[in-house]
Amino acid sequence: MNDAVRVRFAPSNTGHLHIGGARTALFNWFFARHTGGTAILRIEDTDQERSTEAYYDAIIEAFEWLGLDWDEGPYRQTERMALYTEAAKKMLDAGTAYRCTCTPDEVDEMRKKARAEGRTPKYDGTCRGRYDTDPDLPFCLRLKVPDEGETVVDDLLAGPVTFQNDQLDDMVIARTDGTPTYNFCVAVDDIDMRITHVIRGNDHLSNTPKQILVYQALGESPPRFVHISMILGSDKKRLSKRHGATSVLEFREQGYLPEAFINYLVRLGWSLGDQEIFSCDEIIKNFSIENLNLSSAVLNPEKMLWTNQEYIMKGDAGRLLELLEERLRARGLAPELLSPEARLGVVEELRTRAKTLEELADGAAFFFSPGVTLDEKAAAKFLISDIAAPLGRVREAIAGVEPFAPEGIKEVFEGVLEAEDMKLGKLAQPVRVAITGGTKSPGIFETLALLGKERSLERLDAALARIENP
């Protein structure tokens, strides 16, 4: 094996990139960056019935959102068939693979018989050492597993894991139609790409001895293996749709920042003291296989939201504004209704209240709508006849504020409150409902200033008209 670290992430385009796969990809990528090695993306698309171009595009889109720059790839197995054919022929010529003419029904019977006799249900080797030369008789190719001894997976996390060879099947490496099988392709690709370390989920551990035997059959040494823990839901069961979002693009749509998503996922199975928030450079500097955890990681949605909120609160306001504007336009709203300075002001006012970009857009929507949609319950409670006079006085008072800034707005509010002998809350909430449509917003003075005088007056006029003509 080459001394330089070479790792790969190899998803199948039979579905979206899910959160567990994304974490595996990140561990590979950060290990490569930490060691100065090479990170390779390989798409395992030989399952023609389930693989689609739409899923392929979605996987690529997910990595673009995460900002992972692969050093090589994406390679596609369907474009590498000649390589698998050549490797199969090499094994056949060396006697480490053989032709098998047994039908699927015959193999099923072999397994049923073995199960009934208390033996490992596997192919019984009927075709080892023989081949029917009838050219019309279909055959597959099988790996010839040693009858004795053991295959050891030297796992860098779990230590040596031993498999007895007599318990392993003579697995099919090429089907009767000539198409190669998963475990065979994986090993051949890893050899061709000079992979030094295979970091993947421990659900693949049972595949590893089969792939090691292919390595050995082709005269190659296997890479180092690292089988990481699975991600579990809060009920300690394997993560699935019932736990909520599982695909990377779903989390993007929910309003997660990619850097927050990466930070949380990497910390889900890797740790460095008590530190929770890491920049990408910090992860690269400190990442190591030794710091990976063997125990299963449990997804904590609340902690994930907390991490995202930390990044929203501390992120660059200009970038947050760009992301906010994308979501506003997707809702049919117009960011241009506010000046660039006011738009940034909206971000600064709302960023401490939002856990996701979607929440940020929810809170900002009223600023960028040409009118206001009233929450009927809030309107019925606060836009009542008793408030008409003080609301009208506020409307007239703020019309004269210049410049239209929080300090001046506050000053005229205080004048109205004194004249009406009211507390701020009794007046601010009706104004808030009139201006925003609901009962939640930043401070009322800041909200009015950001919305602007003209639009604030229009909304107050509309509220007063509603009170007069309910």
Query: At which of 265, 281, 302 does a domain end?
Result: 302
Question: Has residue 307 been placed in a domain?
Answer: no
Asked whether residue 2 carries a pLDDT value surpassing 60, the answer given is no
Of 241, 285, 377, 440, which residue is the catalytic one?
Answer: 241
* Alpha carbons 295 and 276: distance in angstroms, whole number: 19
Instruction: With CA atoms as reference, report the closest residue to 7 among 33, 102, 17.
Output: 33
Does the CA dihedral 210-215-217-221 come out positive or negative?
negative
Return the structure tokens found at 232. 């579990």
Q: Is the peptide bond before 403 cis (omega within 30 degrees of 0)?
A: yes
Instruction: Report if residue 413 sits inside a domain.
Output: yes
Share of the chain above pLDDT 70, in %: 97
Could you say which of 368, 387, 404 is where a domain stops?
368
The two three-digit tokens of residue 235, written as one number? 């009920």
Cβ neighbors of 438 (< 8 A, separation 6 or more) are: 366, 375, 378, 432
CATH of the domain at 419: 1.10.10.350
pLDDT at 31 over 50: yes
Structural domains of the chain, count: 4
pLDDT digits (tens, 9 = 90+) for 76-121: 999 999 999 999 999 999 999 999 999 999 999 999 998 999 898 9
The dihedral of CA 207, 161, 229, 188: what is its sign?
negative
Q: What is the pLDDT of residues 190-211, one digit of tens each?
A: 999 999 999 999 999 999 999 9
Q: Range of 335's domain?
A: 315-368
Report helix, strand or coil for 460: helix
Which of 302, 327, 351 terminates a domain? The answer is 302
Of the listed ranges 28-32, 239-243, 451-455, the least confidently predicted one is 239-243
The pTM assigned to this predicted structure is 0.91
What mean pLDDT do residues 280-284 have? 96
| Domain assignment present for 309 | no
Neighbours of 336 (CB within 10 A): 11
Same domain, 196 and 297: no
Q: Please report whether residue 310 resides in a domain.
A: no
- Reduced to 3 states (helix: H, G, I; strand: E, B; else coil), residue 115 is helix
One domain for residues 194 and 91: yes
Q: What is the pLDDT of residues 115-149, one digit of tens each?
A: 999 898 999 999 987 766 666 789 999 999 999 99
Asked whether residue 308 is assigned to any structural domain, the reply reads no
**Mean pLDDT throughout 21-35?**
97
Q: Residue 98: what residue type? A: Y
Instruction: Let me know whether 319 and 331 are in one domain.
Output: yes
DSSP-derived letter for residue 100 is: E
* Residue 332 pLDDT greater than 50, yes or no: yes
State the CATH number of the domain containing residue 123.
3.40.50.620
For residues 288-308, give the mean pLDDT.
92
The answer to whether residues 315 and 277 touch, using CB atoms and an 8 Å cutoff, is no
End-to-end alpha-carbon separation of the chain, Å?
81
**Whose CA is closest to 195, among 403, 31, 79?**
31
- Within a domain: 219: yes
Residues 361 and 389 in one domain: no
Active-site residue flag, 423:
no
- Same domain, residue pair 338 and 390: no
Band of pLDDT at residue 49, cut at 50, 70 and 90:
confident
Cα separation of 339 and 305, whole Å? 30
pLDDT for 221-242, tens place per residue? 999 999 998 899 888 888 776 6
Judge if 16 and 86 occupy the same domain: no
Would you place residue 273 in the very low, low, confident or very high pLDDT band (cuts 50, 70, 90)? confident
Query: Which residues sit opposite 226 in a β-bridge?
Result: 199
Please state the rounded mean pLDDT for residues 382-387.
95
pLDDT for res 1: 39
- Same domain assignment for residues 100 and 42: no
pLDDT of residue 241: 64
Whether 210 and 236 map to the same domain: the answer is no
Residues 84, 53, single domain; the answer is: no
Mean pLDDT, the chain, integer: 94
Please indicate, yes or no, whether residues 178 and 246 belong to a single structural domain of this protein: no
> Do 124 and 224 belong together in one domain?
yes
The reply to whether 28 falls in a domain is: yes
Residue 218: inside a domain: yes
At residue 239, the pLDDT reads 77
Which of 182-186's residues contact partners 24+ apart within 8 Å by CB, and which partners?
182/44, 182/46, 182/47, 182/207, 183/207, 183/210, 183/211, 183/214, 184/84, 184/87, 184/88, 184/143, 184/214, 185/44, 185/46, 185/77, 185/80, 185/84, 186/10, 186/44, 186/211
pLDDT of residue 341: 96
Residues 133 and 217 in one domain: yes
